[in-house]
Structure 1
């Protein structure tokens, strides 16, 4: 007997990923009190492959740090390694470098991120 897909709907992979990311979010952006200066060495459970050390004061290095922590970090990692003001400042570019489920989870939870979606004209 074949199972009907209407009886047992296949979970939407996008929705599942977005929910996974949403579960990790801090309660408020103000909870993100990561460093604004110096070097950050990520633990293996966050940076399990490749680069682990980042210079927060170098924009490209910081972008790499934030991409990694957003994608792989748990709630305590987000709070420890991300800084609210730095996240808001680089969100217009950062949002184009992260996955859609991740981006939508953050923008749905934090309207201030959605408000800074586009890069201001020079």
Structure 2
């Protein structure tokens, strides 16, 4: 028994054993990055349910727009949205910047599920 009484779990243990409420549930992620077969170029129109507060058409040739679209899909999209709108190769190549644009829950869920997204030794982990 600790100072808080019997049945109290240490906060760090509880947080480590539960997924973040701010990140996707494990079942919402694709099983592999190769499943992400979204467009690798051109223009993409996101549905209103994803891009409800502004720009809905994204030119994937513009890195700023591509990163913005990926951030929207990663943070608000469902598994089907990830499969439809994200490209695995683009996700991996842009992840060092994207990981700073999404919340900790999203970043942790994706990096835990896909080791290819984890920062390499010497790369700052934000």
State the TM-score, normalizing by the size of structure 1. Answer: 0.80
Query: CA shift at 1:8, angstroms?
Result: 9.2
Query: 2:101 matched to 1:97?
Result: yes
Query: CA shift at 1:116, angstroms?
Result: 5.2
Moved over 6 A (4+): 4-9, 11-14
Name the one with the larger helix percent.
1
Superposed CA RMSD in Å reads 2.7
Answer whether contact 1:88 1:116 (CA < 8 A) is retained: no
Which digits, 9 at most, give the CA deviation of each residue in 1:76-111, with x for residues without a partner? 110110001000000001101110000000000001
Query: CA shift at 1:73, angstroms?
Result: 0.8
Query: CA shift at 1:66, angstroms?
Result: 0.3
The match for 2:27 is 23
Q: Distance in 2 between matches of 1:116 and 1:85?
A: 17
Query: 2:97 matched to 1:69?
Result: no
State the TM-score, normalizing by the size of structure 2. Answer: 0.78
Query: CA shift at 1:50, angstroms?
Result: 1.3
Answer whether contact 2:37 2:84 (CA < 8 A) is retained: yes
Tell me the SS of whatever aligns to 1:54. Answer: strand
Q: Distance in 1 between matches of 2:120 and 2:92?
A: 7
Answer whether contact 1:92 1:116 (CA < 8 A) is retained: no
Answer whether contact 2:96 2:119 (CA < 8 A) is retained: no
In the superposition, relative to structure 1, how do residues 74 and 7 fare at CA in structure 2: closer, same or farther (>3 Å)?
same
The match for 1:111 is 115
Alignment gaps of 5+ in structure 1: none
